[in-house]
Chains A and B, each alone.
Chain A
Amino acid sequence: MRAINRKLYRDLQDTWGQALAIILVIAAGTSTFVMSISTYDTLVQTRDAYYRDYRFEDIFASLNRAPESLREVIESIEGINKVETRVVASAKLTVADFPEPVLGEVVSIPDFGEPTVNRLYLLQGRYPDPVRDDEVILNQVFANAHNLVPGDSFEMIIKGRLETMRVVGIALSPEYIYQVAPGAIMPDFKRFGVIWMSRDAVGKAFDMDNAFNNVVMTLQPGVNPKDIIERLDLLLEPYGGRDAQEREWQVSHRIFKSDIDQLEQMAGMFSSIFLGVAAFLLNIVVSRLINTQREIIAALKAFGYSNIDIGLHYLGYVGVIITIGLLLGIAGGIWLGIALSNLYMEFYRLPYMEFEFRLSIITIAVMITFLAASVGTLFAVNRAVKLPPAQAMKPEPPAKFRKTLIEKLKVFSLLPQMARMVIRHLSRKPVKASLSIAGIALACSILVVGSFFRDALEFLIDIEFGLAQREDMTIVFTEPSSRNAYYNILNLEGVDYGEVYRSVPVRLVNGHRTYLTGINGYQEQRDLHRPLDTNHEPIDIPTQGILLTDYLGELLDVEVGDIVNVEVLEGRRPVDQLRVAGLVNQYFGIGAYMDINSLNRMMREDDVISGVYLKIDPAYEQQIYHQLKDMPRVANFETNRHIVQAFNDTSAEMVYIFVGFIFGLAVIITFGVVYNTARIALSERGRDMASLRVLGFTRGEISYILLGELVVLTLIAIPVGMIIGRLLSWYMIQEIPKEIFRVPLIIENSTYAISATVVIIASILSGLVVRNRLDHLDLIGVLKTRE
Chain B
Amino acid sequence: MNENAQDIRQSPVTVFRTLGLTKTYEMGDVKVHALRRVDSELYSGELVVLLGASGSGKSTYMNILGGLDRPTTGEVYYEEHDLTNATESELTEYRREHVGFVFQFYNLIPSLTALENVSIVTEISEDPLDPKDALGLVNLTQRMDHFPSELSGGEQQRVAIARAIAKNPTVLLCDEPTGALDSETGSLVLSAIEQINRELNTTTAVITHNIAISRMADRIIHLADGVITDVEVNTNKVHVKDIKW
Which residues of A are interface residues toward B (Cβ below 8 A)? 2-4, 6-7, 10-11, 13-14, 295-296, 298-307, 309, 388-391, 393, 397, 400, 784-786
Contact = CB atoms under 8 A, between A and B. Distances in A.
B194 interface: no
Nearest to A293: B109
Nearest to B27: A397
Given A304-B92, A785-B180, A390 B116 contact: no
Nearest to B97: A304
B124 A304 contact: yes
Contacts of B224: none
B53 interface: no
B53 to A, nearest CB: 18
Contact of A393 (B95, B103, B109): B103
Contacts of A7: 109, 111-112, 116, 120
A62 to B, nearest CB: 77
Contact of A302 (B28, B101, B112, B124): B101
B68 A388 contact: yes
30 contacts: A2-B123, A3-B119, A3-B120, A3-B123, A4-B123, A7-B116, A296-B109, A299-B103, A300-B120, A302-B66, A302-B68, A302-B95, A302-B101, A302-B103, A303-B96, A303-B120, A304-B92, A304-B94, A304-B95, A304-B124, A306-B89, A309-B124, A388-B63, A388-B68, A388-B70, A393-B103, A400-B28, A784-B153, A785-B105, A786-B105
B56 interface: no
A10 B117 CA distance: 13
A4 B121 CA distance: 9
A590 B59 CA distance: 80
B93 interface: yes
Q: Top 7 closest A-B pairs, CB basis?
A: A304-B96, A10-B111, A390-B63, A3-B120, A390-B68, A3-B119, A299-B107
Interface of B: 27-28, 59-60, 63, 66, 68-70, 88-89, 92-97, 99, 101, 103, 105-107, 109, 111-112, 116-117, 119-121, 123-125, 153, 163, 167, 180
Contact of B117 (A3, A13, A397): A3
Nearest to A298: B107
A113 B232 CA distance: 114
A6 B112 CA distance: 7
- Interface SS of chain A: helix
A471 B96 CA distance: 86
Contacts of B101: 302-303
A784 to B, nearest CB: 7
B26 to A, nearest CB: 11
Nearest to A11: B111
A3 B116 contact: yes
Contacts, number: 92
Nearest to B122: A3
A326 B232 CA distance: 63
Contacts of B120: 3-4, 7, 300, 303
Nearest to A1: B116
Nearest to B60: A390
A300 B112 CA distance: 13
Contacts of B125: 304
Contacts of B167: 303-304
Given A3-B117, A3-B123, A4-B120, A307 B88 contact: yes
A393 B62 CA distance: 14
Nearest to B111: A10
A482 to B, nearest CB: 91
Most chain A Cβ neighbours within 10 Å, of B27, B103, B109: B109
Contacts of A299: 103, 107, 109
A11 B111 CA distance: 6
B112 A390 contact: no
A693 B54 CA distance: 28
Contacts of A388: 63, 68-70
A235 B59 CA distance: 100
Nearest to A397: B27
Nearest to B164: A303
Most chain B Cβ neighbours within 10 Å, of A11, A295, A393, A786: A393
B180 A784 contact: yes
A295 B107 contact: yes
B77 to A, nearest CB: 19
Contacts of B103: 299, 302, 393
A408 B107 CA distance: 40
Contact of A10 (B93, B112, B119): B112
A389 B95 CA distance: 11
A389 B120 CA distance: 17
Most chain B Cβ neighbours within 10 Å, of A295, A301, A400: A301
Contacts of B94: 304
A786 B70 CA distance: 24
Most chain B Cβ neighbours within 10 Å, of A296, A301, A302, A389: A302
B70 A6 contact: no
A305 B88 CA distance: 11
Contacts of A303: 95-96, 101, 120-121, 124, 163, 167
Contacts of A397: 27
Nearest to B66: A302
B111 A305 contact: no
Given A3-B119, A7-B109, A301 B92 contact: yes
A786 B110 CA distance: 14
Most chain A Cβ neighbours within 10 Å, of B111, B121, B123: B111
Given A11-B111, A301-B95, A785-B180, 4 more contacts: A300-B120, A303-B96, A390-B59, A390-B63
Contacts of A298: 107
Contacts of A301: 68, 92, 95
A174 to B, nearest CB: 61
Most chain B Cβ neighbours within 10 Å, of A3, A14, A306, A307: A3
Contacts of B69: 388-391
Contacts of A393: 103, 107
A389 B68 CA distance: 5
B31 to A, nearest CB: 15
Contacts of B106: 785
Nearest to B125: A304
Contacts of A3: 112, 116-117, 119-120, 123
